[in-house]
Amino acid sequence: MDTLTTIDMNFSAAVRREVVADRTSDHALLEATRIGDEDAFAELVGRYRNPITNYIYRMTNDYDGAVDLAQETFVRVYRAAERYQTTYAFSTYIYRIATNLAISELRKRKRRKLVSLTGFFQSRDGGEAQEFNPPDLKPLADTALVDDERRRAVQRAISTLPEKYRAPLILRDVEGKSYEEISRVLQTSEGTIKSRISRARGFLREKMTAYL
């Protein structure tokens, strides 16, 4: 009898753990959001607000705009919760929305010609205009300042990459996504993603030669 009770208790605990794990999965949270659970949606926002804001910021190089677009991303997730299909991971889904919004914003900016000093340095692949970004060759006293300057230079260089190279590079090298997930987010084949990332790194290295 004691043995049976112990087994039973262990089983209950296992079931409870599974329920808790399932309850906290992204799909479960979205399912709860669908039936009106505001706390579940808040939990989902808490999980993804920083990664999505960071990703959009790396894409657009504009913090305020990135926050607005991140909010718009969550609004769209909330609005489309009923139509969401659990075919892929939720992170793939939300990154796809964020990517589309970021690319749309970049195209809007391009149309408005908000990018400074453009038009003179077009990329070889006919992508968007490249910003002239001369390095500051003056010696800096502090190593921290040097590193900080390098990071800012890299961010500026990334923001001048054509969007078709920029998104996969950020997803891979900044966000640390796998090629498979990137191909799902961007809805492009894995081979194309690898090729674009490789080209993006080459472009970036050329731009950053003075800092390397």
Cβ at position 11, least distance to another protein in Å: 38
- Apex 9 CA angle, 8 and 12, nearest 5: 90
Site string for another protein, 57-96 (x = CB under 8 A): xx----x--xx--xx--xx--xx-----------------
Count the Cβ atoms, other than its own, within 10 Å of residue 148. 12
Cβ at position 174, least distance to another protein in Å: 6
Does 110 interact with another protein (rule: CB under 8 A)? no
Stretch that binds another protein, among 87-95, 101-109, 126-134, 197-205 (CB under 8 A): 197-205
How far does CA 5 lie from the centroid of its chain? 49
How far does CA 26 lie from the centroid of its chain? 17
Cα–Cα distance between 209 and 137 in angstroms, integer?
12
* Cα radius of gyration rounded to whole Å, the chain: 22
Which residue do the tokens 């790396």 mark? 58
At residue 109, the 3 state secondary structure works out as: helix
Please select the residue that binds another protein; options are 166, 177, 184, 199, rule is CB under 8 A: 199
Does 42 interact with another protein (rule: CB under 8 A)? yes
Q: Using CB under 8 A as the criterion, which residues of the chain lie in contact with another protein when the complex forms?
A: 42, 45-46, 49-51, 53-54, 57-58, 63, 66-67, 70-71, 74-75, 78-79, 147, 150-151, 154-155, 158, 172-174, 194, 197-199, 201-202, 204-205, 208-209, 211-212
